[in-house]
Amino acid sequence: MQPERWPDDGPAVTGEPYVAFLPPGTAARPSPYSVEGYLNGIGDFAIGAARARGWRRLVAKVLVIALLLPVLIACLQGVLTLARMLLGG
């Protein structure tokens, strides 16, 4: 099944035309083991999730919620603990 193309997609950002605009010695995409590569991977996932339809979009949303919910809970616990310490409770 071919992915659907959106009218505003434009040319792909990989390949020779893209590499021509990069400074000499720069890789086309950062290594996936660097912070930049990790963030690019997250961006690719977000773009793919935004264009997904049906069950794929649902799975993407559930995955994002499953990853962000523990972070939100940990932040909330930290704020509450700090507030208790500051207020002497």
Domain ranges of the chain: 16-51, 57-89
Average pLDDT, the chain: 77
pLDDT digits (tens, 9 = 90+) for 17-32: 555 665 666 556 667 7
Q: In sequence order, which residues have a C-beta less than 8 Å from that of residue 49 and are 6 or more positions away? A: 57, 60, 61, 64
Triad 21, 25, 31: Cα angle to 5°: 95
* This prediction's pTM: 0.50
Which two structure tokens, joined as six digits, stand for 80?
Answer: 């509450």
Judge whether residue 14 has pLDDT over 60: no
Residue 86 has pLDDT above 90, yes or no: yes
Asked whether 32 and 38 are in contact (CB, 8 A), the reply is: yes
Give the model confidence (pLDDT) of 46-67 as tens digits: 888 888 889 988 998 899 899 8
